[in-house]
Structure 1
Amino acid sequence: MLHLIKEKIRRQEIQFITYSDYMKMALYDPHFGYYMKDGEKIGKQGDFYTSVNLSDVLGTLLGKWFCKLFHTSGLTPVICELGGGTGKLARHILESIKQTDPELYSKTVYYIVETSPFHQKLQQDCLSSFEHVQIVSTIEELGQIEGIVFSNEFFDAFPVHVIEMYRGRLFEVMVSCNSSGNDLAEHLVPLENSEIISYLENEKLVLQEKQRLEIPLPMLEYLEKIAGILTKGLMVTMDYGYTHDEWELPQHRRGSLRGYYKHEMIEDVLEKPGEMDITSHIHFSALSSYLKSRGFIQEYLLRQDEFLLQLGILKELEEHYDPNPFTEKSKRNRAIRDLLIPGGISSFFRVDLQLKGLEDKRNVLFTENENGKTHET
């Protein structure tokens, strides 16, 4: 992969490529890209964990919630998961729907949009016993749908451009070969990309001196596709990210681009291209403003632990109490606690809920909690 990237750089008249182009190759090259190659990425034998690895509780709660939403909103029971990973989350959701409402389950169509042939095979094996599951490579294959579109750690793996304010001037951070030609290095060029400039203007973003920021142009392109295929329904985005106000905090001034290799965080994402995961925190403010211009309404932006509490995760804990610490029930209880404890995995995740064509159903997303209120961040 490194050789292919260096060759691409050398073919350029300017001898460098954007970070977005680098990430597209390192992650999605058809033969050598990280996500496209065979090999485990998620779990103990991979490079990172997700909430799905802890237990089935996330999928169980989502399945029960989806059942309620389909009944209260009148939506067609269609679910589209963006990026299905190993297929475990889909299995947990479908098992939950089947147990909660067998009649609704018989009518439910479940789509997975997955570009990786390796993960498509894992999903097919994992979901072979479920009816009405369709796995497609691109979202365009769905045509227009009504229902629920959701993702869990999907947009964080999208390619991004990188910019930096240096000596009072904006630069785009490019990728080039170092002086020896053996490795990759960064190269600053004056910002000229009109799409990036428009993004900064539209989002009213002003960088401080030496501040670095990822610009999610490919994410916006994908949101355009979602807006085109979802005629009516709910979009649920579970991921780690910040609002514009949070990006301005000192601790985020150097951006969020990171690599993960065998569960170790790698600061320099130019290391090990094609061998490690590369992620960045998504821009929730931009996601919301972009979808708003295309007919969506942001109903909530919650921390994941707040979202899980709204879905009734504490009832799952109560219903599975077991004093024996070695049983599956006790392991599940510990997983639930891990999802809720301060500083745990849910503290770093947000859940963004967007409605389209459901303005008259805005009060049906959650039932009121014990205090009669729904919390929002």
Structure 2
Amino acid sequence: MNHQLGHPSVVTALKEAIQSAEFQAITFRDYMEICLYSEPYGYYRNERTKIGKQGDFYTSSSIGSVMGEMVASFICKQLHNESPETEPVQIVEWGGGNGRMALHIMGEIKRTEPAIYARLTYTIIESSGYHRQQQRTLLEEHAQVIQFASETEWLAQPPQDQLYVLANELLDAFPIHRIRYKDLLFQESYVKWQEEGQTFQEIWRPISSQRLLDFLDRSKVQWLDGQIGEINLEAESWVSRVAERIQSGSCIIIDYGDTAEELFAPHRYNGTLMCYRKHQAQDDPFIHQGEQDMTSHVNFSSCQIAASQSGFTDCKLQTQREFLVEQGILQRLQNHYDPNPFSEVSKRNRSIRQLLLSDQMSELFKVFIASKHSLLNKKR
């Protein structure tokens, strides 16, 4: 048996899907979905720690509470500009991980804007039972404000005013179509099982999906021969579905990614797909199924198109650094020198600097905000 194969139950699910598929091969998109989301041992479904030192990667909420405070500050500013001070406020966090971002946002609103906190409902849409349990435990002090919902329940409700939807490092983990441009034609990646080598193998076939062909038709990017890239149709659909629920408010996406021109540029010849396991990054998705994270950079150009077509009137894409500075992070740096490196002040100043200065986080990470303004609520 191949020792690099992942969780036996995920491997079995993949082999079954491949055996029942036409050509005995499934699209890379379906392969990635099974690796990450199959029950109960897919990467995002199993009970292993994923975030932090014991896990596979860090998120911005692992670096202190500053990111959550800045998101809270953005939402409170919007509310002061736009809305009557009696209406209910909804924040919806999609895929809340271990709950730390929610803790930091609610803590900041409670501390600085008790009147807004008093009319706040914070909904977490979390499909993993393991993470939901972590969130309940961590967020006990906000139990009266918090609710949990499934995606289906939440999307079925009517549109609401003063609704803020937050996706922090969510879209990069949606299953993607892997595309290659070869001999003047676009092909799609499929995955088959090789019995003799006991391995999963990538093969390339002509694209059959009309949505993918339409996407490539629209895109103005020139590909090089042999170049590989990812198309995340799910991210576009997600933005459109969320838009239907927001009568006024914003959709806030924090993730690493870029515009289409950058993502399909020649220096991205092999695409942006990466796998993370125990803080080691590598680019082979055909090993450790269910035991490694798989992600690709978010195409913010396609999010922006989807947002504009879905009725969002203002769309803004910034680097994480620009967003943090605009929300007042520099005022939070405490200037007095503290000789104790473990004091709260020192720890906080360090986490602010890390969010602002570490090349990887501050420039690679973007904040995309799409907003709708309620005509009824505009303050005269």
Q: TM-score, with normalisation over the residues of structure 2? A: 0.90
Structure 1 residues 273-292: aligned runs within 5 Å: 273-292=289-308
Counterpart among 106, 130, 145 of residue 160 in structure 2: 145
User: Who is 1:241 aligned against?
Assistant: 257
Question: What percent of counterpart residues are identical?
Answer: 36
Provide, for residues 59-92 of structure 1, a one-character-per-residue CA deviation record: whole Å limited to 9, x for no partner. 1222223222212121742111111010011011
User: Who is 1:28 aligned against?
Assistant: 37
User: Who is 2:6 aligned against?
Assistant: none
Segment of structure 1 superposing worse, 17-26 or 171-180:
171-180
User: Who is 1:267 aligned against?
Assistant: 283
2:145 pairs with 1:132: yes
User: Who is 2:63 aligned against?
Assistant: 54
User: Who is 1:312 aligned against?
Assistant: 328
User: Who is 2:216 aligned against?
Assistant: 200
> CA–CA distance in 2 between the matches of 1:320 and 1:92?
24
Counterpart among 85, 88, 112 of residue 100 in structure 2: 88
- SS of equivalent residue, structure 1 residue 81: strand
- 1:245–1:101: structure 2 CA closer, same or farther, 3 Å change rule? same
- 1:277–1:320: structure 2 CA closer, same or farther, 3 Å change rule? farther
Counterpart among 96, 113, 121 of residue 109 in structure 1: 121
Q: Tell me by how many angstroms 1:354 deviates.
A: 0.8
**Structure 1: unaligned runs, 5 residues or longer:** 363-377
- 1:323–1:361: structure 2 CA closer, same or farther, 3 Å change rule? farther
2:23 pairs with 1:7: no
> CA–CA distance in 2 between the matches of 1:47 and 1:182?
26
Matched-pair contact (CA < 8 Å) for 1:140–1:229? no
Matched-pair contact (CA < 8 Å) for 1:48–1:263? yes
Matched-pair contact (CA < 8 Å) for 1:321–1:329? no
User: Who is 1:170 aligned against?
Assistant: 186
> CA–CA distance in 2 between the matches of 1:333 and 1:261?
29
- 1:45–1:353: structure 2 CA closer, same or farther, 3 Å change rule? same
User: Who is 1:368 aligned against?
Assistant: none
> CA–CA distance in 2 between the matches of 1:274 and 1:109?
34
Aligned residues: 362
2:154 pairs with 1:121: no
Segment of structure 1 superposing worse, 222-231 or 68-77:
68-77
Q: Tell me by how many angstroms 1:248 deviates.
A: 3.3
Q: Tell me by how many angstroms 1:344 deviates.
A: 4.1
User: Who is 2:272 aligned against?
Assistant: 256
Q: Tell me by how many angstroms 1:211 deviates.
A: 1.3
Higher relative contact order, structure no. (Cα contacts within 8 Å, ≥ 6 residues apart)? 2
Segment of structure 1 superposing worse, 112-121 or 241-250:
241-250
> CA–CA distance in 2 between the matches of 1:337 and 1:319?
13
> CA–CA distance in 2 between the matches of 1:283 and 1:47?
23
> CA–CA distance in 2 between the matches of 1:298 and 1:207?
30
> CA–CA distance in 2 between the matches of 1:344 and 1:18?
31
> CA–CA distance in 2 between the matches of 1:145 and 1:87?
24
Q: Tell me by how many angstroms 1:173 deviates.
A: 0.8
Segment of structure 1 superposing worse, 136-145 or 113-122:
136-145
> CA–CA distance in 2 between the matches of 1:82 and 1:116?
11
User: Who is 1:159 aligned against?
Assistant: 175
Find runs of 4+ consecutive structure 1 residues off by over 3 angstroms: 203-206, 357-362
Provide, for residues 307-355 of structure 1, a one-character-per-residue CA deviation record: whole Å limited to 9, x for no partner. 1011111111136753422212101111111111151422210011111
Q: Tell me by how many angstroms 1:299 deviates.
A: 3.2
Q: Tell me by how many angstroms 1:32 deviates.
A: 1.6
Q: TM-score, with normalisation over the residues of structure 1? A: 0.91
Matched-pair contact (CA < 8 Å) for 2:99–2:138? yes
Segment of structure 1 superposing worse, 133-142 or 211-220:
133-142
Q: Tell me by how many angstroms 1:178 deviates.
A: 2.9
- SS of equivalent residue, structure 1 residue 14: helix
Q: Tell me by how many angstroms 1:202 deviates.
A: 2.8
- 1:219–1:327: structure 2 CA closer, same or farther, 3 Å change rule? same
Matched-pair contact (CA < 8 Å) for 2:304–2:315? no
**Structure 2: unaligned runs, 5 residues or longer:** 1-9
User: Who is 1:69 aligned against?
Assistant: 78
Matched-pair contact (CA < 8 Å) for 1:43–1:53? yes
